[in-house]
Amino acid sequence: MSDVKKVVLAYSGGLDTSVIVKWLQETYDCEVVTFTADIGQGEEVEPAREKAKALGVKEIYIEDLREEFVRDYVYPMFRANTIYEGEYLLGTSIARPLIAKRLIEIANETGADAISHGATGKGNDQVRFELGAYALKPGVKVIAPWREWNLTSRETLMNYCERHDIPVDFSKNKKKSPYSMDANLLHISYEGGILEDPWAEAEEDMWRWSVSPEAAPDQPTYIDLTFEKGDIVAIDGEALKPHEVLSRLNKLGGDNGIGRLDIVENRYVGMKSRGCYETPGGTIMLRAHRAIESLTLDREAAHLKDELMPRYAKVIYNGYWWSPERRMLQAAIDETQAFVNGVVRMKLYKGNAIVAGRKSEQSLFDESIATFEDDAGAYNQKDAEGFIKLNALRLRIAAGKGRSAG
């Protein structure tokens, strides 16, 4: 007899998690609570309610978390200009801590003994969900069906559905995307299918959010982005909530062919993985944020941020959002953003997010000093001689001792 009486499942309403509901009921003889989060995946989440009811689920949580997702997770991450391995904007990674938090909160609310998820044993998401869960509730039991059952293919899942009268939205003959996809307001990802060959070019009809750069409009789109303390608060002067900002930037970026990415990344579990990503709004946000920081941040603070960023990115990618090191890094990053205020003008054109202008009342750019024209004595160029000699002192001493620099 299982000691698990109730489980909270991260439930999408799709094939995998529908099978998991029945499998949990059958294997653990337990009650299942489903949790479905709307984090901007672009699909209706309410149909999950009827699917869960049909599987005998009595406690069903369906929540709109779009604003919390962008405000409390995406925005803090973008204050650090975060990218993993030089390219990936961490669209999947940043959604997992929020889902883990709600799973634990719902488990506490409902008196559940365990949580469960549909992440496979080959991916990073199992790590992210579970590290978050253990950080928030150390003694929680986690059930990961993909690490326990023998259902190893879509065909075996479909056969399981037939045996257990599980309703699915498609028949065996209905065409299904060959890709494994994950979407939220920050991005949509694609893996599997022909993408498992790193030499194969992604098919044009795979992309969902963006036109190809070749098909983008011949005229550029200009937008003004207003920043307050490192966060975008308005587009073209219109005040918007964080999730509204990202949604609008996704549309503008996608219409102009911006945000496509094709990478081979190093997963935390050890393997290399090839994936394609669409992050139109995030691509614009990153360029614009760096532009406003270039005006407003002190040089050494900016450089230190750039040194910390790869470590911060790895912390998020590997699933340590709730760790003390992430909180420490976040505090340092947020401290730098007090004066990151102003407006950045972006030019969106055929796959490119181009900085066309930037201005700020907190700007550290002093035209009277930087000018190539007469600076009226604002900068004494003779001072540079001593500056250079002092910085060359150790090099001159070493050369004088016969230590070759070549």
Q: What is the predicted pLDDT for the residue at 368?
A: 84
Confidence of residue 173 (pLDDT cuts 50, 70, 90): very low
Report residue 374 CA to chain centroid gap.
47
Ramachandran category for residue 34: left, alpha or beta (phi over 0 → left; psi -120 to 50 → alpha): beta
Residue with token string 């004494």: 380
Catalytic residue among 18, 125, 189, 358: 125
Q: What is the predicted pLDDT for the residue at 42?
A: 87
Asked if the model's pLDDT at residue 377 lies above 80, the reply is yes
125 is an active site residue: yes
pTM: predicted TM-score of the whole model, two decimal places: 0.94
If residue 182 lies in a helix (H) or strand (E), which one and from where to where? strand 180-183
Q: Which letter does DSSP use for residue 203 in this model?
A: P
Higher pLDDT among residues 231 and 151, named by residue: 231
Residue with token string 């990503």: 277
pLDDT above 90: percentage of residues in the chain: 85
For 239-272, b/e burial (b = at least 16 CB within 10 A) is ebebbbbbbbbbebbbbbbbbbbeeebeebeeee
Q: What is the predicted pLDDT for the residue at 404?
A: 77
CATH number for the segment(s) 180-297+336-359: 3.90.1260.10
Confidence of residue 280 (pLDDT cuts 50, 70, 90): very high
CB atoms within 10 A of CB 394: 9
Q: What is the predicted pLDDT for the residue at 1?
A: 53
For 223, phi and psi rounded to 5 degrees? -140, 145
Q: Where are the domains of the chain?
A: 6-79+94-163, 180-297+336-359
Q: Determine the length of the chain.
A: 406
Quick one: CA dihedral 64, 70, 72, 77, positive or negative? positive
Span of 168-172, 337-341, 376-380 with lowest mean pLDDT: 168-172
Q: What is the predicted pLDDT for the residue at 169?
A: 64
Span of 317-321, 328-332, 400-404 with lowest mean pLDDT: 400-404
Partnered with residue 7 across adjacent β-strands are 32, 114
Strands, E, within 20-76: which ranges? 31-38, 60-64
71 is an active site residue: no
Residues 6+ apart with CB under 8 A from 278: 187, 188, 207, 208, 209, 210, 254, 259, 260, 261
Q: What is the predicted pLDDT for the residue at 261?
A: 97
Asked if the model's pLDDT at residue 395 lies above 90, the reply is yes
Q: What is the predicted pLDDT for the residue at 293?
A: 98
Contact yes or no for 188/181 (Cβ under 8 A): yes
154 is an active site residue: no
Catalytic residue among 96, 274, 326, 358: 96
- Residue pLDDT, tens place only, 240-249: 999 999 999 9
Minimal CA–CA distance to 247: which of 392, 39, 104, 36? 39
Asked if the model's pLDDT at residue 174 lies above 70, the reply is no
Catalytic residue among 49, 71, 72, 180: 180
Mean pLDDT across the chain: 94
Assess whether the region 6-79+94-163 and the region 180-297+336-359 belong to the same CATH fold: no
Q: What is the predicted pLDDT for the residue at 171?
A: 44
Partnered with residue 181 across adjacent β-strands are 190
374 is an active site residue: no
d(CA 249, CA 207): 17
Minimal CA–CA distance to 9: which of 61, 56, 53, 45? 61
Q: If you average pLDDT over residues 273-301, what whole number do you get?
A: 98
Q: If you average pLDDT over residues 196-212, what whole number do you get?
A: 96
Range 6-79+94-163 has CATH code 3.40.50.620: yes
Asked if the model's pLDDT at residue 115 lies above 60, the reply is yes
